[in-house]
Amino acid sequence: MSIAKMFLLSGCGLIAFTGSAWAQDEPAGEPQAAGVIVVESSATTDENGEVVIGSTQAFSFTPDGARPLQFMVSPAGFGGMGQQDQFSMLMNERVRNELELADDQWKDIQQLQSDFRDRMRETLRGGFSPDRAQEFKEALTSIRTEMTGRLNQVLLPHQQNRLEQLQRHMQLKNSEIGEAVFQGSLAEALELTEEQKEKLSERAAEIRTEMQDEIKRIQAEAREKLLKELTPEQREKLEELLGQDFDYEPARGGRATVTRERAER
């Protein structure tokens, strides 16, 4: 099913969807009353069995009976493609161990997550509409700023610094070949000029092509090593089963460009 509409309030960690894509989530029978149903997503439990909230899902119903909108919101905002928010990172026990969080600090962070969920429920009360997009953006930006400030009050300075470093590590590792260096917050921190960004982007495209060629070469070598385990008769039979060789590269729009070659005997 297709998504009819999608609204992204960048910088505040809110994505809203509406349309037939979520029809299966609507309650059967009587129309849903106006309001917000909060569904906790990206939730996990800590070592004590306590539920920890990273991002939050919410279904918002309006009085006119329109289809619900689904929200996915993160306490610290998404912060850009491939960059995980700090609250979600703190759900990871290894991250908490790296920061050497004290028990009382972790309890305070759990309380922050709970407060965030409550604030989101209050903010989304009454339903969401495109006309309220700017209002929601401002409200969520305010909440994110407040929650980030409160988190920084819980963390010690060296813990704040290390968490930011871990966030950048993840941002860089989640980018295909390191594009995060010239995009988003890392580019700003490095004070890259537009000329540098353009040059890095061009170089990234070249490296990506080189990488794809290298992957093809490695795959071909791997296939040949595997096929050497077949007997000559089996190799010949395989060639008959495969027929004429061809290579293709996916093109834009989902089509494929096909190149036919003679099978080498």
pLDDT in tens, 16-69: 434 433 333 444 444 444 444 444 444 444 444 443 444 444 444 444 444 444
Vertex 3: Cα angle to 59 and 52 (nearest 5) = 40
Mean pLDDT, residues 174-187 taken together: 78
Reported as a pLDDT band with limits 50, 70 and 90, residue 246 is: confident
Q: Indicate whether 133 pLDDT > 70.
A: yes
Task: Tell me which of 117 and 83 has the higher pLDDT.
Answer: 117
Task: Tell me which of 96 and 134 has the higher pLDDT.
Answer: 96
Q: For the whole model, what pTM was predicted?
A: 0.56
The pLDDT, as a whole number, for residue 137 is 79
Whether the CB-CB separation of 159 and 101 falls below 8 Å is answered with yes
The pLDDT, as a whole number, for residue 251 is 57
CA distance 197 to 142: 31
Q: Indicate whether 154 pLDDT > 90.
A: yes
The pLDDT, as a whole number, for residue 109 is 93
The pLDDT, as a whole number, for residue 2 is 34
Reported as a pLDDT band with limits 50, 70 and 90, residue 229 is: very high
CA distance 197 to 205: 12
Mean pLDDT, residues 132-151 taken together: 84
Mean pLDDT, residues 216-225 taken together: 93
For residue 64, give Cα distances in angstroms to 32, 121, 188, 190, 253: 10, 20, 44, 49, 38
Mean pLDDT, residues 220-237 taken together: 93
pLDDT single digits (tens) 60-113: 444 444 444 444 444 434 343 334 678 888 988 999 999 999 999 999 999 998
Percent of the chain with pLDDT over 70: 60
Mean pLDDT computed over every residue of the chain: 70
The pLDDT, as a whole number, for residue 127 is 66
Whether the CB-CB separation of 91 and 45 falls below 8 Å is answered with no
